[in-house]
């Protein structure tokens, strides 16, 4: 298989970022997370960041036209030519169609959409205990995946904080938005035959093993 163009899919808090951290070192692929890109824009105070912030704070999706342009630019960069791991994009049918068009213009296609399946009640437990490092966004959980030293990132020593949108009312809103606007993409990708499901309620190492096994199978299928 020449390229691995992967989408990590699932509700907020499913463990996409946690798995991406492991997969990017397994496969040496660039990790493209639209949520991280937007938060960087907010922090830098760019025009995009100023426009996006109001939506993010409420738990709404940022409008498609802003996101599609940002993602298209990033996917066109040289380091993404041999593959990528997308996280948090696409989140609407319009975004998925825009992505398909962009890839087909480059004679490329998505290899697989990995749906990390987690029920709502688990999402709520995960997001309310999530902590992220201020430097690189590494993920921890106060109970399920605590750092070695309280509030300090194991990987880069930076401070751990709670995201503004990981507050109970915003978590609830993000779940509603996921079910309404993003979950329909499960059928969209299933119909294309590229959806693969992973039980996201297992511990992180097991989810990781499952994803690696799925990718190994995809590679075998491609070689046959
Ligand atoms: P997403 O990127 O899908 O929003 P994260 O990777 O940030 O999700 O994970 C959300 C929270 O759940 C984090 O606090 C993370 O430490 C924790 N978490 C991730 N995977 C698991 C898992 N398999 N079991 C328990 N907790 C997990
Ligand atoms: P999570 O880690 O909880 O899955 P993200 O970090 O992916 O959340 O996204 C945080 C917020 O950024 C979303 O609630 C939304 O406001 C905005 N966002 C990120 N990606 C997109 C996208 N593809 N389309 C619209 N809004 C997005």
pLDDT (0 to 100) of residue 220: 83
**Is 210 close to ligand 1, i.e. is its CB under 6 Å away?**
no
Q: How far is the CA of 139 from the centre of ligand 1 (A)?
A: 7
Give, for ligand 1, the residue of 22, 123, 126 to mutate: max count of ligand atoms closer than 8 Å to Cβ: 126
pLDDT (0 to 100) of residue 1: 54
95-131: per-residue pLDDT in tens?
A: 999 999 999 999 999 999 999 999 999 999 999 999 9
Q: What is the mean pLDDT of residues 122-144?
A: 94
56-86: per-residue pLDDT in tens?
A: 999 999 999 999 999 999 999 999 998 999 9
Instruction: Inform me whether the pLDDT recorded for 90 exceeds 90.
Output: yes
pTM for the model stands at 0.95
Instruction: Please give the mean pLDDT across all residues of the chain.
Output: 95
pLDDT (0 to 100) of residue 219: 84
Ligand (nearest to CA of 182): 2
Q: What is the mean pLDDT of residues 205-221?
A: 93
pLDDT (0 to 100) of residue 7: 98
- Number of residues in the chain: 224
Active site includes 58? Answer: no
Residues with CB under 6 A from ligand 2: 12-13, 17, 34-35, 38, 55-56, 59-62, 67, 88-89, 91, 95, 165, 174
The answer to whether 184 and 93 have CB atoms below 8 angstroms apart is yes
Q: In what helix (H) or strand (E) does residue 116 lie, and over which residues does it extend? A: strand 112-117
Q: How far is CA 42 from its chain centroid?
A: 18
Q: In what helix (H) or strand (E) does residue 159 lie, and over which residues does it extend? A: none
Closest CA to 30 of 71, 83, 68: 83
- Cα separations in angstroms, 219 against 83, 111, 182, 213: 14, 10, 27, 10
Closest ligand 1 atom to Cα of 21: 6
Q: Which CATH superfamily is domain 4-121+169-223 in?
A: P-loop containing nucleotide triphosphate hydrolases (3.40.50.300)
């Amino acid at each position: 298989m020449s390229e691995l163009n992967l989408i990590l899919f699932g509700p907020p808090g499913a463990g996409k970022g946690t798995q991406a951290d492991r997969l990017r070192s397994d496969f040496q692929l660039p990790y493209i997370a639209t949520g991280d890109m937007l938060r960087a824009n907010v922090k830098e105070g760019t025009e995009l960041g100023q426009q996006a912030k109001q939506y993010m704070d409420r738990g709404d999706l940022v409008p498609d036209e802003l996101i599609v342009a940002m993602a298209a630019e990033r996917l066109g960069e040289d380091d993404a030519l041999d593959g990528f791991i997308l996280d948090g994009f696409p989140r609407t049918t319009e975004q998925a169609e825009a992505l398909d068009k962009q890839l087909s213009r480059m004679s490329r296609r998505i290899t697989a959409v990995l749906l990390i399946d987690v029920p709502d009640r688990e999402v709520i437990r995960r997001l309310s205990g999530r902590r992220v490092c201020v430097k690189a966004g590494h993920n921890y959980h106060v109970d399920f995946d605590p750092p070695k030293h309280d509030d300090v990132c194991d990987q880069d020593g930076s401070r751990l904080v709670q995201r503004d949108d990981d507050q109970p009312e915003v978590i609830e809103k993000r779940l509603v938005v996921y079910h309404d606007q993003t979950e329909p993409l499960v059928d969209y990708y299933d119909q294309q035959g590229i959806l693969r499901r992973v039980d996201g309620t297992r511990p992180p190492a097991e989810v990781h093993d499952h994803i690696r096994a799925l990718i190994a199978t995809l590679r075998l299928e491609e070689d046959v």
